[in-house]
Copies of this chain bind each other. A is one copy, B any other.
Amino acid sequence: MNGYVPPARPHPATGAWMPSHPAGSRQFFSFDRPFALEGGATLRDVTLAYETWGTLNADASNAVLLCHAWTGDSHAAGSADAGHSAPGWWEGAVGSGLAIDTDRWFVVCVNVLGGCQGSTGPSSLHPDDGKPYGSRFPVITIRDMVRAQSRVADHLGVRRWHAVVGGSMGGMQVLEWAITFPDRVGSIVPIATCTQASAQQIAWGAIGRRAIRMDPKWRGGDYYDAGPDDGPWEGLATARMVAQVTFRSDNVFTDRFGREIADGATLHDGLDLWQRFEVERYLDYHGDKLVRRFDTNSYLIIGKAMDLHDVGRARGGLLPAMARIDAQALVMGISSDILYPTYQQRQIHDLLLSGGTKSDYVEIESPHGHDAFLIDLDQVGQHLRTFLDRVGA
């Protein structure tokens, strides 16, 4: 039963970007005043990392905001390099001549508050003692993320976004932007997202929380001074595996992995509890990969923000909240999405129409599940390009 040997991982306890690391294409904006959170706490020192592509025009009318998903960051486009452990999450969709054409649009992406790639989050230093926040970092909401981003918009001279675009948690931010700041958002593209997290979505999040809490190396959230090879990787990797399955689809898993055994072994070598199927190796790989570029507490804090997502909270419910939106919308769903099923995007579309907002709904036909918004860039990009052109006319 004990045949499993974890891979060697001489890595620090967190995959967070640290001020001692190369900045890459990040820029930083530090708030000049404290930031009050929806939950009641106040963060005294807030810095947000962001990246921009293209040039803001004279009347500041060509700005497009991209909002990233759970484990994304400000690096929406560009290579992996010393400052960025992975290529941009929408690389191929954002750039000169691409769907979001940076020759035309001034594109901005901000690492969310609570994140770990340069923005203030649990791995940042607490102003009281210069040690990482760790367990002291407060719970934040999608609304907090969006209100914080609005200060970056002010700093950049963007009074009103031509469009705010994002998938999954990015789409939650898109809705909150348009509801919180109706006069600052010209159009929206919420993709594979929802007006409020469903019970099943919360359930998946709860499992990840429990897995991380179980990892003794998580140390109640205060693990930052743990030595190499002593971080809360098992907990984070297990939580990530749950997400990874819900991000894809039954059919794609069957096509890609079937019942293959990993590492060239066969069942003729004898049956072993830890002999891995190929799909198991794939999940281990993705779990282990995430721990190298992410922070476990950020995963918890951002996941909780998603579970708390409910645009109707303290606004009299969904319809009054959605009726505040004054931005033409393109709503996208993905045919095979099991995590954010298309009924959720059709609900967004219907609520927008009920509130008197112009909205189109399109469905990405893809076998790839929720992650199709990161994979099927041809379809997603084509819809985006057409929409950005049209609402700009």
A residues at B contact (CB < 8 Å): 1-2, 4, 38-40, 134-141, 196-200, 202-204, 206-207, 209-211, 213-216, 220-221, 234-235, 237-238, 241-242, 245, 249-250, 253-254, 256-259, 267, 270-274, 276-280, 283-284, 287, 297, 300-301, 304, 307-308, 310, 313, 338, 341
Give 4 nearest A-B pairs by CB, closest first: A39-B271, A199-B253, A139-B271, A1-B135
Contacts of A254 in B (CB 8 A): 198-200
Mind listing 12 A-B residue pairs with CB under 8 Å?
Answer: A2-B221, A39-B271, A141-B271, A199-B250, A200-B245, A203-B280, A206-B276, A206-B283, A206-B284, A210-B238, A267-B313, A273-B301
Contacts of A199 in B (CB 8 A): 250, 253-254, 256-259, 277-279
Given A199-B257, A203-B283, A273-B301, check contact A216 B216 (CB 8 Å): yes
A137 to B249, CA, bound (A): 34
**Closest chain B residue, CB of each to CB of A235:** B214
Dominant secondary structure at the A interface: helix
**Closest chain B residue, CB of each to CB of A304:** B273
Contacts of A139 in B (CB 8 A): 271-273
Minimum distance in angstroms from A253 CB to a CB of chain B = 4
A21 to B220, CA, bound (A): 38
Contacts of A211 in B (CB 8 A): 211, 214, 238
Contacts of A135 in B (CB 8 A): 1-2
B206, B220, B235, B284: the one within 8 Å of A241 (CB): B206
Contacts of A283 in B (CB 8 A): 203, 206-207
Given A135-B2, A197-B259, A241-B207, check contact A271 B38 (CB 8 Å): yes
Contacts of A1 in B (CB 8 A): 134-137, 220-221, 297, 300
A200 to B204, CA, bound (A): 15
Q: Which one of A1, A273, A287, A310 has the greatest number of beta carbons of chain B within 10 Å?
A: A1
A270 to B40, CA, bound (A): 7
Minimum distance in angstroms from A28 CB to a CB of chain B = 26
Given contacts A1-B220, A199-B279, 9 further A-B contacts (CB under 8 A): A198-B253, A199-B253, A199-B257, A203-B253, A210-B241, A214-B238, A216-B216, A250-B341, A273-B301
A220 to B250, CA, bound (A): 31
A141 to B213, CA, bound (A): 33
**Closest chain B residue, CB of each to CB of A313:** B267
Contacts of A4 in B (CB 8 A): 213
Q: Is the CB of A277 within 8 A of B221?
A: no
Given A1-B221, A207-B283, A267-B308, check contact A214 B241 (CB 8 Å): no
